[in-house]
Amino acid sequence: MKQPLVHPLDRNATKEAAEAAEFYDETLGFTPNSIFTMMHRPRIANAFLEMNQAVMENKGRVTSSFKREIAYLSSMTAGCRYCEAHAIRAADRYGSSQDRMANIWDYKTSDLFSDGERAAFDLAIAASAVPNGVDDDISERMRANWDSGEIVEILGVIALFGYLNRWNDSMGTQLEEPAAADGESLLGKAGWNRGKHKY
C-alpha cells in the first residue's frame, strides 16, 4: 500500500487518545498506531481497550507470556505482519524465553512446550485459519489439558487477535519502529518483514 487507509490521530489529539497512550506505553513501551486509528471513533477504541484488558488479564496458568505466544501463532496464521511483530515483542517483554520464541514453530516436537501448550497452539492455528479448522481432536485435547475458564481465556486471545489482524492488515497500519526492530531481530531468520506496514 502507498499509505494507510486512514491515518492515526496524534496521541495528544483528544483526552481519550492521551489516556490510551499512557496505558500502552506501560505494556508495549509505545502506543500502537492501530489504537490511534480507532480513536477516530473513540467508542470503538475504548471498547477494544476494555476487551484487550479483559482478555489479557491473568487468571492462573494461562500466563501473560503464553497469551502473547498464542497471539503470535494466530497472527502468523492470518498473515498479519504488524500483529506478528507486536505479539512477539509483547511475548519478549512479558517473559517468554529466547528459546521458546526461536522454537515456537517446532512446538509439536520441542520439549520446551507441554502437551497443554501444544493443544492451545493447535487451537490457535486452526481457529485462525479460513475456513476454521477446529475439530473434535483439538477440542478433546483442549478439554483434557485446560478447564473451561482457561479455554475461554485462550480463545479470547485468538479472537482478539483475529480482530486486530483484520484491522491492521486492511488498514495497512504503519508499523512502529520498536515493534519493527523486534520483528526483525526475533523473526527475521524465519522470513518476517514489514510487508505492507512500511512507509
Q: Which amino acid is at 97?
A: S
State how many domains the chain has: 2
CB 100 within 8 A of CB 112: yes
Please give the distance of CA 31 from its chain centroid, rounded to a whole number. Answer: 14
The verdict on 73 and 127 lying in the same domain is yes
Q: Using CA atoms, how far apart are residues 124 and 136, in angstroms rounded to an integer?
A: 14
How many CB atoms are closer than 10 A to CB 58? 12
The pLDDT assigned to 152 comes to: 98
Q: Using CA atoms, how far apart are residues 46 and 20, in angstroms rounded to an integer?
A: 8
The verdict on 127 and 70 lying in the same domain is yes
Percent of the chain residues past pLDDT 70, beyond the cut: 100
The verdict on 112 and 92 lying in the same domain is yes
How many CB atoms are closer than 10 A to CB 136? 7
**Average pLDDT along the chain:** 94
In a domain, 79, yes or no: yes
In a domain, 162, yes or no: yes
Structural domain boundaries, residue 159: 62-194
Percent of the chain residues past pLDDT 90, beyond the cut: 83
How many CB atoms are closer than 10 A to CB 109? 9
User: What band does 131 get if pLDDT is binned at 50, 70 and 90?
Assistant: very high
Residues 182-198 have pLDDT tens digits of 999 989 988 999 999 99
Residues 157-172 have pLDDT tens digits of 999 999 999 999 999 9
Residues 32-66 have pLDDT tens digits of 999 999 999 999 999 999 999 999 998 899 999 99
The verdict on 94 and 185 lying in the same domain is yes
pLDDT above 80 for 91: yes
The verdict on 133 and 100 lying in the same domain is yes
Q: Which three cell numbers stand for residue 143?
A: 478439554
Which sign, positive or negative, has the C-alpha torsion 21, 193, 133, 107? negative
The verdict on 38 and 117 lying in the same domain is no
The pLDDT assigned to 82 comes to: 98
The verdict on 38 and 66 lying in the same domain is no
The verdict on 178 and 123 lying in the same domain is yes
Concatenated DSSP letters for 55-124?
HH---SSS-HHHHHHHHHHHHHHHT-HHHHHHHHHHHHHTT--HHHHHTGGGTTT-TTS-HHHHHHHHHH
What pTM was computed for the model? 0.94
The pLDDT assigned to 198 comes to: 94
